[in-house]
Amino acid sequence: MSDIAKDPWARLRAATPARIALGRSGAGLPTQANLAFQFAHARARDAVHSALDVDRLVADLGDLPVIRTRSAVPDRASYLRRPDLGRTLAEGEAAHLPCSPCDVLFVIADGLSAAAVQAHAAPVIHATLLRLKGLTCGPIVIAEQARVAIGDQIGTAIGARLTVLLVGERPGLTVADSLGAYLTFGPKPGTRDSARNCLSNIHGQGGMSHDRAADKIAWLARAALKLGLTGTGLKEDADVSPLLPD
């Protein structure tokens, strides 16, 4: 007798990472399900509290020019309690950013999962740059203890037409290293989230692959620069090929 015949939930469990039909042992979960849950919770907690290894990330970026900066957050505990401080540069940091006008500026923010940034940011940037031929790209900016909106201040200081901010997404109990990408045309402080385009779930556990993410980012970047906008006015096209170089 097949496993599906023995357990009618087996086919559904095989089709989703969601925790369904886990069974029970007395009034609680079976030991295996309980241990798996605790392990997933520990991974998520570690992802939130772990620090980004910036030196390793710089090495992974290879010969690309890199600028390091930081938010106004003094420590990780404050980062979790004060989201507003993660959205702005620390005092004096903006003055150290060079004015280097460009079409596209990549900003890497550790966000809520340093593990996601460590694993996926450099491969996504390398893959995307191959698809942005003909556009000028500024130096890669790594912002520590940062959130999405910090890219607006950085983009303004450097003079970017478009920012592509890669950030570690809030970890869940299925994936703890998911990367997000936020594109903002004409970045400036006070930009609303509705004026951004977002790609999420960039990871290797059934999520968006590095190459697929690069395709979508490149299409959105070219469309944004052509139309002069991002956000609700720019709809993502399922067919990304027309705006990619041959």
Task: Convert the pLDDT of each residue in 60-117 to its tens digit.
Answer: 999 999 999 999 999 988 988 999 999 999 999 999 999 999 999 999 999 888 999 9
- Supply the CATH number for residue 162's domain: 3.40.50.11240
The one-letter code for the residue type at 160 is A
In-domain check, residue 59: yes
For residue 220 the two structure tokens come to 């959105």
Query: For residue 119, is it within any domain?
Result: yes
- On whether residue 31 sits in a domain, the answer given is no
Q: Residues 205-227: what's their mean pLDDT?
A: 94
Q: Does some domain include residue 235?
A: yes
Say how many C-beta atoms besides its own lie within 10 A of residue 114's C-beta.
23
Q: pTM to 2 decimals?
A: 0.83
Query: Is 49 part of a structural domain of the chain?
Result: no
Q: What does the pLDDT read at residue 166?
A: 98
DSSP 8-state symbol, 96: G
Q: Are 74 and 82 in contact (CB under 8 A)?
A: no
- Name the helix (H) or strand (E) containing 128: helix 114-129
DSSP 100-124: --EEEEEEEE-TT-HHHHHHHHHHH
Q: Domain range holding 220?
A: 54-243
Q: How many domains does the structure of the chain reveal?
A: 1
| 193 in a structural domain | yes
